[in-house]
């Protein structure tokens, strides 16, 4: 369920960002499906591969996309289990994404380009600095709920009391910022820049073309939808979706609870639209930070996650006595 909804979300997510940025700058801008029209064109083109590259460059786009899809299979949808969830699955989730990023970086380094090497270096540094914030956040939620499975964490987390609202706000804020960093967006990178010395993601894909470039763009769209699904798991009530079956004159029929699923799906899409619009607004009115200040900004996210961790320690009385 989560994978299917993420795929549907990815169809319009990049387009909503572009539309919001266009409206914020007073332009008509492209349609919502324009990014996927561009991807469709790329899928029908061949890839130009340099003779100086090895097999790593060729397999990197496919593995990058595959790891994102595998990570999506671990995510539940509110009220419904994930396909392959288990205790401690958020660790596998993080390192599946890390594996894809690792091959992505190796593919950039394999070209031998100094510009792509600079971008790969920054990508590796920013991902390494953002990783502690993610693990501190989910460690905090595991401590609070007593579970280590993402499905059980989301089902057990309830907005009841000011402490839970503080923790929930911090969690959503961190996930938004990590999503921006992992997708090389503002304020750490600008997808519209054309200066190789300050580019990160865009400079890493300079040598990719055609079908390979399409796979990377699809992966980026899915990754945005994936973080939106994580946020939705916090905000959408995790009511169990079960079918009520009544028998009348030997005829069985379903009633009632199907609407619960419809409402949850509707709220999920609303959250994704708001998330995409928020990214568009932030990129319209937020300046990119200087490269030397990006590490400090990313490390600050771990400090914010530690605030939530300390709050949970106080709530559970583990710091008393």
So where are the chain's domains?
Answer: 2-315
N-term to C-term CA, the chain: 45
pLDDT at 245 over 50: no
pLDDT at 39 over 70: yes
pLDDT band, very low/low/confident/very high, at 65 (cuts 50, 70, 90): very high
Helix axes 294-315, 162-182, angle to 10 degrees: 150
Q: Stretch 297-304: mean pLDDT, rounded?
A: 92
CA dihedral 227, 151, 87, 68 (to 10 degrees): -30
Burial class from Cβ neighbours inside 10 Å (0-12, 13-18, 19+) for residue 301 reads buried
pLDDT band, very low/low/confident/very high, at 142 (cuts 50, 70, 90): very high
What share of residues in the chain are helix, strand, coil (percent, to 5)? 65, 5, 30
57-127-108 Cα angle (round to 5): 20
SS3 252: strand
Mean predicted lDDT score pLDDT of the chain: 84
Measured distance CA(298)–CA(303) in Å, rounded: 9
Q: Stretch 127-151: mean pLDDT, rounded?
A: 91
pTM listed for this prediction: 0.87
pLDDT band, very low/low/confident/very high, at 196 (cuts 50, 70, 90): low
Q: Stretch 85-95: mean pLDDT, rounded?
A: 90
Q: Stretch 264-283: mean pLDDT, rounded?
A: 88
pLDDT band, very low/low/confident/very high, at 100 (cuts 50, 70, 90): very high
pLDDT band, very low/low/confident/very high, at 158 (cuts 50, 70, 90): confident
pLDDT band, very low/low/confident/very high, at 285 (cuts 50, 70, 90): confident
pLDDT at 93: 94
pLDDT at 289: 81
In angstroms, the Cα distances linking 212 to 45, 47, 241, 263 are: 9, 6, 39, 37
């Amino acid at each position: 369920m989560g994978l299917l909804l993420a795929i549907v979300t990815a169809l319009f997510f990049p387009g909503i960002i572009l539309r919001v940025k266009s409206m914020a700058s007073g332009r008509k801008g492209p349609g919502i499906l324009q990014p996927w029209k561009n991807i469709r064109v790329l899928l029908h083109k061949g890839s130009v591969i340099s003779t100086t590259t090895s097999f790593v460059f060729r397999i990197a786009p496919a593995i990058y996309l595959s790891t994102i899809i595998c990570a999506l299979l671990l995510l539940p949808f509110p009220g419904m289990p994930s396909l392959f969830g288990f205790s401690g699955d958020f660790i596998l989730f993080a390192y599946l994404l890390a594996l894809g990023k690792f091959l992505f970086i190796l593919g950039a380094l394999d070209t031998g380009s100094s510009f792509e090497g600079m971008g790969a270096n920054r990508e590796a540094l920013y991902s390494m600095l953002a990783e502690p914030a993610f693990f501190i956040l989910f460690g905090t939620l595991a401590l609070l709920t007593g579970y280590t499975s993402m499905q059980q964490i989301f089902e057990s987390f309830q907005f009841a009391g000011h402490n839970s609202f503080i923790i929930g706000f911090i969690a959503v804020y961190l996930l938004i910022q990590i999503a921006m960093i992992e997708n090389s967006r503002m304020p750490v990178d600008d997808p519209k820049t054309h200066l190789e010395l300050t580019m990160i993601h865009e400079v890493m894909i300079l040598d990719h073309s055609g079908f390979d470039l399409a796979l990377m763009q699809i992966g980026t769209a899915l990754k945005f939808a994936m973080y939106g699904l994580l946020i939705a798991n916090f905000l959408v009530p995790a009511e169990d979706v079960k079918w009520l079956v009544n028998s009348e004159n030997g005829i069985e029929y379903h009633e009632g609870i199907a609407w619960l699923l419809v409402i949850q799906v509707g709220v999920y899409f609303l959250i994704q639209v708001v998330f995409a619009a928020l990214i568009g607004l932030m990129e319209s009115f937020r300046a990119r930070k200087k490269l030397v200040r990006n590490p400090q900004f990313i490390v600050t996210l771990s400090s914010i996650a530690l605030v939530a961790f300390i709050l949970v320690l106080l709530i559970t009385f583990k710091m008393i006595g």
